[in-house]
Amino acid sequence: MLSPASSFAMFAVSLISWSPASWAQDTTAPREEQPVEDVVEIVDLGSSRQFDSPYVPLVERTVNLPLARTLPRGSLLVIIDHRAYKPFFENSFHDVMGLEAGGIKIGLGLRYGVMDTLDLGFYRLNGTTEIFDTYDFDLRWRLLRQDAQGLDLALRGGPTWFSQPGVPDALGASAQLLVDRVMWERLLLGAGFMYHSDSSSDTKSTSDTSWSAAVQGNLEWRITPNLAWDAEVAANVLGYGAQWPQVATALKIITHRHTFSFILSNNQYTASDGVVANTWRSPAELSLGFQVLRQMGI
């Protein structure tokens, strides 16, 4: 039997005789390849693509007035509008800023993206003082795109059906030329020319079938990725028109494919026949309204 001293001496000799080549041979053994993980792109909504990101609704209108921007193919947009009649500052405590004063107009609409450059829409607005209900149908064709030609340009138009119980229905037609551009990724500016063959107004008789034409201006400023301020004006320039241009402003809260807007406007007539004919209210006589937009893919 070996003594402890002899065992230790043999262990030391074995370490000395173990050459570095043995280590090198071990490291040259083939290794299994590890799978490469997919790279996920992180989209910064705070600095770019705020108006065209897939994570927020497409901006295709400011408040009442449309823009030259069409929905993506296969997208459906649901529109719910609510406009009070009475100015919000008149007896605001008892009428809850005009919301309980009666004469409320409610607009319900749908838009669908047939192609990336073509969408179609339907919009219904109930009657109040004018009795009849309005049904708007339209196509919007985007001729120019900002990412290719430097600005957005579109034609929009279609028939309008006026329905009232007990009397024959009536028909009209709308046509619009729209242009807009996004600047500095935070500011959207738009303009347009609008025409309707049988316009409607709170001062126009239902038996009056006069036509109207107007020019429009749109603005949206993205304060943050989830908050925007909108403003717009529509001023009658030809045909029938009331005294004052239509103005509207809104604070818009933006979430995933959904917006909710608090609106102040001097006009309740949000369909294509109403936005061309001005209003009897001055810009100081603003009423309260709301708008809900929900975009989804189908």
87-136 pLDDT tens trace: 756 665 556 555 656 678 999 999 999 999 999 999 999 887 778 899 99
The CATH number given to 75-297 is 2.40.160.40
Q: Where does residue 297 rank: exposed (0-12), middle (13-18), buried (19+ CB within 10 A)? A: exposed
pTM: 0.79
What does the pLDDT read at residue 47? 37
Closest CA to 193 of 219, 210, 214: 214
Domain segments of the chain as ranges: 75-297
Span 42-70, mean pLDDT? 73
Which helix (H) or strand (E) covers residue 108, if one does? strand 105-115
Q: Is the pLDDT of residue 232 over 70?
A: yes
Q: Is the pLDDT of residue 268 over 50?
A: yes
5-48 pLDDT tens trace: 555 555 554 544 544 444 444 555 556 666 655 554 544 444 34
Of all residues in the chain, what percent are helix, strand and coil, respectively (each to 5)? 10, 45, 45
What does the pLDDT read at residue 46? 41
